[in-house]
Amino acid sequence: MSDFTQGWDAVLALAFSAVNETFTDAIKAGLIPKSGQHSYTFAAGSDDTDVNVSASVGPWRVVEAHGAKVVVQIILTGGSLVYDKYTVDLTRLDYKVTVPLVYDEMEGDGGPNYMLTLDFDDKETIAVPNMSLIASQVPRNDLMALNAALTDFFFDALSGGAVDLVRVDSAVLGEGRKWLAPKAFSCSGMTRAAGDGALALLISTVNPPPRSASPLGEDSVPAGMRCAFILSNELLAKCFVVPAFAKALNIPIKNVNVRPGRPWAMEITNPAVVENATVHKARAVVSKGELRVAMTGVAKFWGGATIAFDITATYDVVVGGDPSAPKIAFRRLTRDHAHKIQVSTASKAVTLGSTGLQTSRAEELMIAVMNLVAPQRLGNPFALDFMTAVKWPFGRRVAPKFAKLPDALQLIFDPV
């Protein structure tokens, strides 16, 4: 199914701000050096000249991303370059490093961990764009050699190798979560504005990986939020809506048929009995950010009254529960609309429109029908326990803040 995820089954997206927090945590943990010192030799005329470089680094920041290429800026907060008779102040010198965004696999307890990683392992991608800061302090003929020394210095003393951004722990994916077990990966990044954008791990679980463009867009991680989990509309249907539908109608999941497409839809294949109501037809569709449910059937009540009903309801998705055990639920947005309600008793039959309630008795019957059938019952929450398999690396627990239905299921996370 082609949808908000462009054919990928799941997308784990991090805003640039979340990646920057990861850099900060890596520096605090000693995974990225705070400072460094190194010596080099370069030819100056007929003699070899020693160059000593020492520097301390400030924050690392992602400034742009295009596809699987990410540009990281690192500004020096102090330091010097010393050679011959020259001492050059390196304060405010900045590096811009273009690094690949890669996915990797590492064996963990009980199964492999699948990771999204920035790999600082290629000297050729390191640039020092503001050499003009030191150009006035040294002979012009030395600039090329000094640029090479500064490039080597970053690679040798500061780079810290690879930085992991997010991982999926397959050991947590038990029988009830096999639909999230990764089969194939890709990765992508996008720039929304200067210094603002997102990086993502793209996961194929039940479908083959698509050959389509990246699903990342401006709304993948809303402004001000750290990260997002996006589940394709196919898995949204199979893992959330179909179980809710089947439970509400008290029917086997196999009796709910999902019809592919955009928007996707599903229907029951056999009549369902809910207490004293029989649902002959039921259909659900996600479109324009809403779950829409329609049901047709018959209910029998006191005094021999029978009601033929055609009921519709509209839902969005909401997040609830404790931050350590979050849940989602479908929340009804509108009152159910009763179309073509026909009340039959021993003495008469009355057809009522959605605005044509004539008696309090008829209104009571209609409310009773609405309370019986599935649109009233879809709000039961679902635990997001599968999210325990996803490990966001920056040093705070995260919890879903809100959810959206842009065809897919989009869960937006921020630190607790």
Lowest mean pLDDT among 95-109, 246-260, 324-338, 402-416: 324-338
Domain housing 301: 235-383
pLDDT at 250: 80
Same domain, 404 and 320: no
**pLDDT tens per residue across span 238-266:** 888 888 888 877 888 888 888 776 667 88
pLDDT at 353: 44
Which one has a higher pLDDT value, 27 or 247? 27
Count the Cβ atoms, other than its own, within 10 Å of residue 82.
Answer: 14
| pLDDT above 90: residue 345 | no
| pLDDT above 70: residue 61 | yes
| pLDDT above 60: residue 392 | yes
Same domain, 323 and 400: no
Same domain, 295 and 354: yes
Q: Give me the percent of the chain exceeding a pLDDT of 90.
A: 23
**pLDDT tens per residue across span 151-190:** 999 888 887 678 889 988 887 776 667 777 888 889 999 9
**pLDDT tens per residue across span 351-368:** 444 433 344 444 555 555
pLDDT at 357: 36
Same domain, 330 and 368: yes
pLDDT at 1: 38
**pLDDT tens per residue across span 284-304:** 888 788 888 888 888 776 566
Same domain, 399 and 377: no
**pLDDT tens per residue across span 99-147:** 999 988 888 777 788 889 998 877 888 888 888 888 888 998 888 889 9
User: Considering its fold, how many domains does the chain have in total?
Assistant: 2
Contact 233, 3 (CB under 8 A): yes
| pLDDT above 70: residue 416 | yes
Count the Cβ atoms, other than its own, within 10 Å of residue 130.
Answer: 14
User: Could you tell me how many helices (H) and strands (E) the chain has, helices first?
Assistant: 6, 25
| pLDDT above 70: residue 348 | no
Same domain, 222 and 328: no
pLDDT at 352: 46
pLDDT at 163: 87
Mean pLDDT throughout 295-320?
Answer: 78
Same domain, 325 and 404: no
Q: Give me the percent of the chain exceeding a pLDDT of 70.
A: 83
pLDDT at 29: 85
Same domain, 156 and 54: yes
pLDDT at 60: 93
Which CB contacts under 8 angstroms, 24+ apart, belong to 76-82? 79/35, 79/53, 79/54, 79/55, 80/53, 80/54, 80/55, 81/51, 81/52, 81/53, 81/134, 81/146, 81/149, 81/150, 82/51, 82/52, 82/53
Conformation bin of residue 195: beta by default, left when phi > 0, alpha when psi is -120 to 50: left
Same domain, 167 and 46: yes
**What integer best gives the mean pLDDT of the chain?**
81
pLDDT at 360: 45
Same domain, 59 and 126: yes
Query: Structure tokens of 380?
Result: 């039961």
pLDDT at 77: 94
| pLDDT above 70: residue 53 | yes
Question: DSSP string spanning 88-100?
Answer: EE-TT-EEEEEEE
| pLDDT above 90: residue 36 | yes
Same domain, 174 and 205: yes
Which one has a higher pLDDT value, 74 or 213? 74
Closest CA to 317 of 297, 332, 339: 332
Lowest mean pLDDT among 29-38, 308-317, 372-381: 372-381
Query: Structure tokens of 219?
Result: 């709304």
| pLDDT above 70: residue 89 | yes
Same domain, 396 and 379: no
Which one has a higher pLDDT value, 359 or 385? 385
Q: How would residue 377 be classed by pLDDT, with cut points 50, 70 and 90?
A: low
